[in-house]
Structure formats: C-alpha cells, structure tokens
Amino acid sequence: MELVIKNISGKDTKKKASLDETVFAIEPNDHAIYLDVKQHLANKRQGTHKSKERGEVKGSTRKIKKQKGTGTARAGNIRNPLFKGGGRVFGPRPRDYEFKLNIKQKRLARKSALSYKIKEGVVSIVEDFTFDAPKTKQYTDFLTNFDSLNKKSLLIIPESNKNVYLSSRNLQGVKVVMASEINTYDLMNAKSVIISEGSISKIEGILRN
C-alpha cells in the first residue's frame, strides 16, 4: 500500500510512502478496539470518590426513641441512613479502576484503528518538519493546509519536538504524540490523522511484532 507524501504546505510531492499492510490494512477487530479504549479511559480515572457511611458521619449513637409502641419504624441512632444527615448506604469508596490487557490485544487494537482511518481516507503523510520557534499561528496554517482546522486532529511525529508541541498546545481538539506513544483512543477520536514520514517505520516496528 502506498500513500503520496505531502509537504508542510499540503502539496503533493513526488515521493510515496510504502505502508505495511499487516499494520495499516488489516481486518479491524472491533472488540479489541473496545477493550483498549476501555482500559485507556479506566486508567485515567482517579478513583478518589468517597462518601461517608453511617459509621463515619458526625452524630450521637444514643437511641433516639424507644423500640416499640411508637407506630413507626424502629431506629437506632441519628446516623441512620434514613434520616437527614445520616450516612449513605453502600456509598462509593476509593478504588483502582485499572485492569490488565495483553500486549498482543493492544497491538491488534491499534492496527485496527489505523486500518479504519486509512479506509475512511483521513490519513495524510507529511514530510518531517520542525518550527524555528513555538508559534500557534504556524501550526494553525499547517492544519489549514491539510484541511484539518477546527477538526479533532492527531499529528504523529517520530521523536519529541518541543517547538511543534508548544505550537499546538493552545488549540482545542489538537494533539501531537510521538510514534511510540500512539494509542487506540486518540486514533479513533481523531477526525484527521497526520503521520510524519519518519514515524512510519517506528509505528511498523512497534506494531508488527
């Protein structure tokens, strides 16, 4: 599979990128995508939610009325969950939402996500580039050249580039990641995927195994 490589201005060059079909053109596995996205979102949860139960709220433990003869339900103390200000029944407690997912499952999910984006025709290959200084205007012009302005876009670069990252940081719905950090959630969430030429071999090296 081959895609035309574009320059930073969005114009076609005479070069073509050869993509490994075992990475970019597989039969997508929806369940693998679901599991990988689920794990990604679960791992981002803080899990610090907490409410006080009847043993933790402030209040006396004195029995507030006699057991029988009142015509109403028996009640032990004012911290009863049925009373205003009482503890919560089975309230949330701090917990860890992370769960394990096999590396082969993750690779399959990411290959599936890339294959979906190739089929949708939203993947562009751009020559490796950098900015002399971090300027949002430069990155805005870059997105405009690739018809990706005001869209959720993902730029995949081969290695850390501070100027490109800082140029994109103030734009909403825009993300820049290194090839070694791509994940299924970012790929599926993006409406436009721009892959830097040098990132292709790195992506294939990670996902081909």
- 39 lies in some domain: no
Q: Is the separation of the CB atoms in 123 and 6 below 8 Å?
A: no
- 34 lies in some domain: no
Q: How many domains does the chain have?
A: 2
Give yes or no: residues 138 and 187 share one domain.
yes
Give yes or no: residues 11 and 79 share one domain.
no
- 41 lies in some domain: no
pLDDT in tens, the chain (209 residues): 899 999 999 898 999 999 999 999 999 999 999 999 999 999 999 999 999 999 999 999 899 999 999 999 998 999 999 999 999 999 999 999 999 999 999 999 999 999 999 999 999 999 999 999 999 999 999 999 999 998 999 999 999 999 999 999 999 999 999 999 999 999 999 999 999 999 999 999 999 86
Q: What is the CATH number of the domain that holds 147?
A: 3.40.1370.10
- 35 lies in some domain: no
Give yes or no: residues 139 and 170 share one domain.
yes
Q: Which residues contact 143 (CB under 8 A, 6 or more apart)?
A: 149, 151, 153, 171, 174
Give yes or no: residues 62 and 115 share one domain.
no
Which residues form the domain of 115? 2-29+100-207
- 37 lies in some domain: no
Give yes or no: residues 105 and 91 share one domain.
no
Give yes or no: residues 83 and 111 share one domain.
no
Helices 103-120 and 30-44 meet at what angle, rounded to 10?
110
Give yes or no: residues 73 and 60 share one domain.
yes
pLDDT at 209: 67
Q: Is the separation of the CB atoms in 126 and 193 below 8 Å?
A: no
Give yes or no: residues 61 and 159 share one domain.
no
Give yes or no: residues 118 and 179 share one domain.
yes
pLDDT at 1: 84
- 78 lies in some domain: yes
